[in-house]
Structure 1
């Protein structure tokens, strides 16, 4: 392997989240699980990104709840929000880009409002979630990595979403559930 598929983003920077001496970050819990618990149907190829389209205030509310529960890092509802998946839902590329940016804005706003109202000694992080190619396929291959797509195809698949989220204002990019080294 010749290095990562895509260059690390300038947006990936360390915040003061671990400067309290704990040496660890408490990541939020299952965003999708909490959205389902609140009555949202996520039986959809877009998963939690469906709620991003239909009820963004609910997504922001879950972010806030995780912060109130002590999370040091909240994760955007973009795991399954791909340009390809959103196009299949009828969104243009520009609309898909705006939705990705909106997901980060919701998390940042929840974090900033929380910080303005709390005495927490550090500012929690916002992680822009990037799911694997298999999440787009929605066939369980995100756990196996048997996509039948080479390195170049994977890079092409991820590139635009990566670029948008890298400039979104998120503190870090969080690549989740990458089952194959080739995709990492």
Structure 2
């Protein structure tokens, strides 16, 4: 089975997907809601599946599930039972797996037929003819921070006033559901403070063999959102076997090069990065302002790769076109 390590060994870079909410909104979804895209797990799962598929078509080697704001207490507050909440969390993984499996069948059939037509004109049904230009994609189950559940912008501050054990108790039930649903890896993302990363590592130790990546939200060239040094976060996580990669997401483009360098110097783990498009987010009004960066996203990805990033994708306001640009620059057929 593919893993981050096996993909990097064979292909040199792992291409992540881009924004889920941006694509859902472009399709007409209204996500001005405390559950954000997680609401559509119940109301329009097909829309989520279609977005996953579009990112695979663009070249993504990994789908990040629509579970960032999917939590048991969050769903219960909206009137669902605890069991219904657990089923919706599991459904986020199942939707991504279904999209991945459908895409992979379509892709390999197409690639095999094209390859066979050229090399094996009399063996179009030869099952040994396999596509090799990309790996079979992974499904990464999104584990958003406690601040995402609060839906008050605190994932960009980390000022929860909770201790580590309280954060363990918050994350453990959802993580159990995501793992049991069949995710290949956990995407612990937009983490604003080291204490939350430590709590999730504690939860992970209840599930030997399960791996996760840890991606922090950054506030400047050196610090994560809480004000702690990104280098210190990378150094602390480095010794844990279940930590598959370390990096930054949901952060302004201008801070990404320096943050890659400072974290890369403190860990032997692969560095991942999936920043925002360049527009600025106001958590108070839940609106975006400004314009996206005019520099080609793929060209920026080339610089991130040169600085040490090996898992590269996009976060808020990025699109399949941005991911296609990353693929074109970093992995050509």
For normalisation by structure 1, the TM-score amounts to 0.89
Task: Say whether 1:95 aligns with 2:108.
Answer: no
Aligned to 1:77, the other structure's residue is in SS state coil
Aligned length: 172
Aligned residue in 2 for 1:62: 51
Whether 1:24 aligns to 2:13 is yes
Q: C-alpha offsets along residues 51-104 of structure 1, whole Å, 9 cap, x if unaligned? A: 111100000000000000100000110000011100111111110111111111
1:152 matched to 2:170: no
Supply the distance in 1 between the matched residues of 2:103 and 2:94 (Cα, whole angstroms): 14
Unaligned runs of 5+ in 1: 1-11
Q: Is the 8 A contact 1:15 1:123 kept in 2?
A: no
Provide the C-alpha distance between the structure 2 equivalents of 1:47 and 1:144, rounded to a whole number of angstroms.
19
Between the aligned partners of 1:41 and 1:130, the Cα distance in structure 2 is 22
Trace 1:21-170 onto structure 2 (pairs within 5 A). 21-119=10-108, 120-121=131-132, 122-170=135-183
Distance 2:6 2:90 in 1: 23
| Higher deviation after alignment, 86-95 or 114-123 | 114-123
The answer as to whether partners of 2:158 and 2:192 remain within 8 angstroms in 1 is yes
Task: Report the Cα distance in structure 2 between the residues aligned to 1:16 and 1:61, rounded to whole angstroms.
Answer: 27
Alpha-carbon distance in structure 2 between the residues aligned to 1:178 and 1:137? 14
Structure 1 residue 22, shift from structure 2 partner: 2.9
Deviation per CA, 1:131-160: give whole Å up to 9, x if none: 000001111101110001111111111110
Deviation (angstroms), 1:14: 4.4
SS of match in other structure, 1:127: strand
RMSD: 1.5
Moved more, 170-179 or 116-125: 116-125
With the length of structure 2 as denominator, give the TM-score of the two structures.
Answer: 0.50
Aligned to 1:6: none
Alpha-carbon contact 1:16-1:123 (below 8 Å) kept:
no
CA radius of gyration, larger in: 2
Give per-residue Cα distances to partners, 1:1-53, cap 9 Å, x unaligned.
Answer: xxxxxxxxxxx95474335x332111110001100111101110000001111
Higher relative contact order (CA 8 A, sep 6+): 1
2: CA distance between counterparts of 1:23 and 1:82?
34
Poorly superposed stretches of 4+, deviation over 2 Å: 12-19
Work out the CA distance in 2 between the residues paired with 1:147 and 1:54: 30
Is this contact kept in 2: 1:15–1:125, CA < 8 A? no
